[in-house]
Amino acid sequence: MLSCCCTISLCKPALYATLLQYLHKHNLDIRGITKLSKGPAMPILPLHARFYLFIFLKHHQYSATHLTKAHSLGVSLIHAHFNNHDGSTWTWCGVIKDLVELKYKGDHMTVAYMRWLVPWNGQLLDNWSA
C-alpha cells in the first residue's frame, strides 16, 4: 500500500533513462521525449512523474530517501532476494531513493528506484583487539 502523500515532480535524467529502460525491457511501446517516432505514433514517457513518500510491504514501512530526507537510512534499506536462471538465489542490499508511479494504457505499476550497495570484500577490522 502506498502513502496517501505524494508529489508530482520532474524526473531527474538518470531516473528518466532508467524508467525508459525498464519499460522497454518489459516490451512496452513507449519512447523518450527526445526520440522521434518510427512508424506508428508511440506514446511518450512524460518528464513528470508521481513520487510517493513511503510504501507498506509485508507489515513494514519503507521510505524513499529523496522525498523524506530520512535521518536514518534504515527506513529505506531493503534486502532483496533474486532468483537465478539455474534455480539458485542471490541477495543484494539497497536503499530506496524514489517510489514512482507509472501508468501506461490502463496499466498501473509502482517501481522503486534503488541505489544498490556494493558488498565489502576488504579486510574487516577487529575493534576489540586494539
What's the pLDDT score for residue 128? Answer: 57
Instruction: Tell me if 26 is assigned to some domain.
Output: yes
Question: How many angstroms separate the CA atoms of 37 and 45, rounded?
Answer: 12
Instruction: Tell me if 63 is assigned to some domain.
Output: yes
Among all chains, which residue has been given the C-alpha cell 514517457? Answer: 45
The phi, psi pair for 34, rounded to 5°, reads -95, -5
Instruction: Tell me if 33 is assigned to some domain.
Output: yes
Instruction: Tell me if 51 is assigned to some domain.
Output: yes
Instruction: Tell me if 56 is assigned to some domain.
Output: yes
Instruction: Tell me if 124 is assigned to some domain.
Output: no
Domain count, the chain: 1
pTM comes to: 0.72
CB-CB contact of 98 with 54 (8 Å): no
Give 130's pLDDT tier (boundaries 50, 70, 90).
Answer: very low
What's the pLDDT score for residue 43? Answer: 84
Examine the pLDDT at 129 and tell me if it is beyond 70.
no
Tell me how many degrees the CA angle 74-78-108 measures, rounded to the nearest 5.
120
Mean pLDDT score, 104-113: 81
Question: How many angstroms separate the CA atoms of 31 and 53, rounded?
Answer: 27
More confident: 125 or 116? 116
Instruction: Tell me if 125 is assigned to some domain.
Output: no
Stretch (H or E) spanning 8: strand 6-10
User: Which structural domain range is residue 114 located in?
Assistant: 6-119
pLDDT digits (tens, 9 = 90+) for 19-59: 999 888 888 888 888 877 666 678 888 899 888 888 888 88
* Mean predicted lDDT score pLDDT of the chain: 81
Give percent helix, percent strand, percent coil of the chain, each to the nearest 5. Answer: 20, 40, 40
Amino acid in position 25: K
Instruction: Tell me if 129 is assigned to some domain.
Output: no
Beta bridge partners of 63: 54
Summary count for the chain: helices (H), strands (E) = 2, 7
